[in-house]
Amino acid sequence: MANRSGQTGNFNTNELIRLCREGDLVAFRELVMLYQGAAHSLARRFVGNREDAEDIVQETFVRVWRHLARFDLDKSFSTWLFRIITNLAYDVLRKRFKQNASITKWGDSIDFVNQESNTDDALQVAMTIRYKAARLPLKQQLVFVLRDLQELSVAEVARILQISENAVKVNLHHARHTIRVQLEQTGEAL
């Protein structure tokens, strides 16, 4: 995974993008390797299962390859990449919502739990939060996943979702409040 400045080995992300724009498949493979883990993690947190996440990541990198010429090198590549993932995940969730009339399936993965705290309590808390988050309105769900589970900054979430930072804060507040109230009502307060 790239560090915050996008450096990897002897290349930074922008150098890899320039090489990709020239048709260098080796550079594209390195770019994919560099961001694949973060892309898969984000997609899985959105859709909750490995199969859909893998499909989203594959389609994401297909779109990256097709549209790399349009990418502005003065912008953050990871923000652009996360925006593509978010759009694709949103489509999957919207289809799932239409099919089920409510989003209820997040899968059995609890990958946002710290691997070191692999206790039954930590797993139960993670499953409960995931279950409650899956029932949030879609915009709140996206903000909650990006900010609280993916641990992106408010500014990064705003750029990815193309909403104001204030809208991120409002949606996050409502999401957290809804989850907290639901937990208190069921006696599952954390």
Last residue in a domain, options 84, 106, 128: 106
Say how many CA atoms lie within 13 Å of 17 toward its Cβ.
23
pLDDT, average across residues 28-33: 96
pLDDT tens digits, residue range 75-98? 999 999 999 998 898 888 777 766
pLDDT tens digits, residue range 126-182? 677 877 888 889 899 989 988 888 888 999 999 988 899 999 999 999 999 998 888
One domain, residues 32 and 99: yes
Model confidence, pTM: 0.63
Last residue in a domain, options 106, 121, 147: 106
Q: Which domain holds residue 30?
A: 1-106
One domain, residues 63 and 81: yes
One domain, residues 19 and 62: yes
* Predicted pLDDT of residue 173: 95
One domain, residues 27 and 39: yes
How many structural domains comprise the chain? 2
The percent of residues above 90 in pLDDT, for the chain, comes to 47
